[in-house]
Amino acid sequence: MTFCRSKTSPRANLILVPLVALLSSSVGHADPPTAITTCAFNIATPGHYYLAMDLTCPEGGISIRTNDVYLRLDGHTLQGSSAGPGILLSAVTNIVIQGPGTITGFQDGVSIVQSQLSTVIGVTATGNSFHGFVGSFASNNVLRANEAALNGSDGIALAFGTANMIVANRLINNGGGIRLDFSHQNNIYANTANSNRRGITLSTSTQNELLGNTALDNTIEDMFDLASNCDDNRWQGNRFDTANQSCIQ
């Protein structure tokens, strides 16, 4: 087993400051908040929304298509039976999705598409056919303290993502734990990715920082970097049993 310790990166502290500010700000806190009691539900007006009850959504989940939205799940469950995502962020900025809450039975739990400066925190995505949390062409977003379990593909997947922060998430018994494809300058800190097929995978991805993660008991490999000698990805202070290169530490 390999286990290296390192001090917290200054970059981690710099990124956590705006996250705390965002969660404590008044962005999206309309008065009164809007209760969501049906689905599919389209959010087209900035403001504060909350899931008022458990919902079964055969025609789709919640779509956010405007900036400046704060959505609380308030401990409820979105149960899907459709091919789309449970919650979709589409070409938006400054969104907060606040758990606790569970998203299950969709294609993807939370999908972040061409969106930025948004946060998903404390959400559970389980039993979705593809990903728990997925981002494409997404930048400067935060996935923090979420859980993904028993999803068909990856717990968290990024494609063409830049400068996102993935921190303190738990990825258990998925097709894969965390996967980055064509994604650069992302920060992956203090996540647990155990008992998946692969734990943490980088493919055609550079300038990423991976510090203090744990990946154990994954079927194929705990940690994997496709780049020769890890290129300029930084793996340090991670705990694992198996890795494909000695530059992963």
pLDDT over threshold 90, residue 31: no
Query: How confident is the model at residue 82, as a pLDDT?
Result: 72
DSSP lists the bridge partners of residue 110 as 87, 133
Q: What is the pTM of this model?
A: 0.89
Least confident of 3-12, 55-64, 203-212: 3-12
**CA atoms of 161 and 51, how far apart (whole Å):** 28
DSSP letter at 105? Answer: S
Classify 169 as helix, strand or coil. Answer: coil
Alpha carbon 35 to its chain's center:
25
Share of the chain above pLDDT 70, in %: 88
Give the chain's length: 249
Q: Which long-range contacts (CB under 8 A, 24 or more apart) does 203-207 make?
A: 203/179, 205/180, 205/181, 205/233, 206/231, 206/232, 206/233, 207/232, 207/233
pLDDT over threshold 70, residue 30: no
CA angle 222, 226, 231 (to 5 degrees): 110
pLDDT over threshold 90, residue 28: no
Mean pLDDT for the stretch of residues 224-238:
97
What is the tens place of the pLDDT at every residue in 117-144? Answer: 999 999 999 999 999 999 999 999 999 9
The two tokens of residue 125 are 């995505």
Query: How confident is the model at residue 83, as a pLDDT?
Result: 83
**CA atoms of 178 and 176, how far apart (whole Å):** 6
Domains of the chain, residue spans? 1-6+152-249
Mean pLDDT for the stretch of residues 31-49:
95
The set of residues, in sequence order, having a beta carbon less than 8 Å from that of 50 and lying 6+ positions away, is: 33, 34, 35, 36, 71, 72, 73, 74
- C-beta separation of 113 from 89 below 8 A: yes
Tell me what the pLDDT averaged over the chain comes to: 91
What is the tens place of the pLDDT at every residue in 71-120? Answer: 999 999 999 987 899 999 999 999 999 999 999 999 999 999 999 999 99
By C-alpha distance, which of 213, 164, 154, 214 is closest to 184? 164
